[in-house]
Chains A and B, each alone.
Chain A
């Protein structure tokens, strides 16, 4: 199991953020953010209401995902982060996605998780030259995470994605290791 670590100093309470692969035994922790009504509006899935559905989701989507990690705080999963690579002529790029339980918002944890990904993903995925992220224009918190992690805002793609049944404008961010 790979572990990447960093220390955060925040008012005399250092926190250790690590990334590791998910296991089905993480279902209870996964359920915490998957069932959180404050989290799901920003993510493409609907709020989960029972653990069986989360277990199925973990079996069908999380565990088979080519690159997905649990964001752990002091060893305990508090969120998830994934990198989804494109195919064919678009293999040079991959999309970053992340989610974290709402009680941990605003503490720099997601930013640290993104930085950990940046430190490892370009070595893991040969030929990857661009890591991009699409953020809802209203999701200022997520935009701050990316900016603090060193991403560049490239523009607003209007009516780009359907989010919760509504056609939404998305902000495009990217991290280019040779430039950023």
Chain B
């Protein structure tokens, strides 16, 4: 189970971090919180929980009046313009183990949140103290950023402070400045994600309805025809699954065969097929080989030594 508020506060005490605790009725918003904890005690924070299209998660903790532009943030992370959105509630409860109204930097203390990236507002550093929920919305604590840093370092996290209002240009020559804070691992939340974890395992007897469009939706066109190309969205299973691999080859070959059917001489037809398809099919085969090797490599890395 997740860390409880008391466990967290005990940890802060063990680390000799100076904080002040305020108990109050459960609050759902910053405005409500402000009624019980006055700004003289410290700067209130707004805490946002985002996810990107590749199932990677981010906590952004900012001063209440810092403007957080999701489009800009998304670009600075190297995710394009619409790359991040608010994370769904299930993610919150599963990864951060807190309820909707108390997203907080402290949530990264949970093992389940180890792949969540935490970005803190640079402006916090100018404040004497800042206010966060200690994993419960019935309590607020105010502490100095050095206390927060000490806590983060104790759980082997590097505190990351970012100028959230900055809007640097992101282009081909100016790499996104926050891209380095994108988590290296994506997280699967059951019921939400429809197919992909980082290690993709195709079901051996795959649901053809789902997979067929991948293999055959793209009409293999010989170079002379001007058909439009269908863009593939999912990772081609043709590179992993022998049946799909063969299906892809048959699709390409028969498409070419049908389009060249007007050629009367069978030998010439065979020659054309060979000429047109060899390079493409070889490429397909190489990707298949590389995929198989990679799976073997993974197995080798993770195999356990023989028990004696």
Q: Do A and B bind each other?
A: no
Q: Show the binding face of B for A, using Cβ within 8 Å.
A: none
Q: Show the binding face of A for B, using Cβ within 8 Å.
A: none
